[in-house]
Amino acid sequence: MKNVIKGFILSAIFFTLCAPVIGGTAFNGDISVGSAEVAPGHQVIIPVYLSGNDIDIMALTVPLQHNSTDLSVDSVSFVGTLIKPGMSPLVQIDNPNQFVKFTYSPTSGLPLINEESGLLASIYFSAGASSPDQMVSIDSVCRLEYVGPPQLWTRVEIADSSGSSIFFPTFTAGYVQVKTATGTDDGGLVLPMALELKQNYPNPFNPTTTISFSLPERSHVTLKVYNILGQEAETLIDDVLNPGEHDIVWNPCNNASGVYFYRLAYKNKVLTKKMALLK
């Protein structure tokens, strides 16, 4: 029986036999893509999250497309994600067509994702060295590949444990902001004019979030996280850093849900912002 269910799930994910895009059973979940900034010639990590899940998920597929030939996908990581033992991740990267797709499919047993929210994948993008300033949208793909019967779709889909229902979650697009250098007297490199600590994204978050900051000069920097009681939860950075834009991903695997503060100390300046962890 399990083999029959598994076979149905796999065929449903890859060869969906349903007509309208708005079809399927009611489902309250959302799949969202994060956003980040990157300099030309550098790499950036874009997370893909599940939230609002209210079913037992056995399989899913998430096809994504961006709109710039200056951006390419290097790899897709499933470290720290919701994927379960007995599930296998599959990845398709098609940079000439600005396309990437990842899939969770069952390989043994009856693995189920029943968490309300969490990380599904981390996509590593690189911006071309000569990329101009631009905002690159990362959106879902929804297209009819073959007019049937059967009708074959490429779109975001989730399959439940029954092997008989396909769900179409809502989707929130993300973006990569490419910031290119312009000609200056220091050889073309544009450095930040002042210290800046940006709001973490996503926020609220689970399980990871990215903290970004800008340094105008090379100096020793500490970046620490504190709980609502003012107790230090983790030291993220305690090192000498070069000037420029910096990103760090915090994965608070051993911390409870709640409000936290992240504190950046640079020379004689201290900046603090608030964030919320939801588990």
Whole-number pLDDT of residue 45: 85
Residues 156 and 26 reside in one and the same domain: yes
Q: Per the structure block, which two tokens stand in for 169?
A: 């979650």
Residues 103 and 27 reside in one and the same domain: yes
Which is higher by pLDDT, 119 or 17? 119
Residues 130 and 229 reside in one and the same domain: no
Residue 191: pLDDT band (50, 70, 90) is low
Residues 226 and 167 reside in one and the same domain: no
Q: Which domain holds residue 136?
A: 2-178
Whole-number pLDDT of residue 18: 37
Residues 29 and 135 reside in one and the same domain: yes
User: Over 70: is that where the pLDDT of 240 sits?
Assistant: yes
Whole-number pLDDT of residue 217: 83
pTM of the model: 0.60
User: Over 60: is that where the pLDDT of 19 sits?
Assistant: no
Residues 222 and 162 reside in one and the same domain: no
User: Over 80: is that where the pLDDT of 11 sits?
Assistant: no
User: Which letter does DSSP use for residue 23 in this model?
Assistant: -
Q: What is the CB neighbour count within 10 angstroms for residue 245?
A: 17
Whole-number pLDDT of residue 144: 87
Mean pLDDT of the chain: 83
Residues 72 and 98 reside in one and the same domain: yes
Residue 5: pLDDT band (50, 70, 90) is very low
Residue 118: pLDDT band (50, 70, 90) is confident
- Residue entry with tokens 């949208």: 137
- Would residue 133 count as lying in a domain? yes
User: What SS3 string covers 30-69?
Assistant: EEEECEEEECCCCEEEEEEEEECCCCCEEEEEEEEEECCC
Total number of domains in the chain:
2
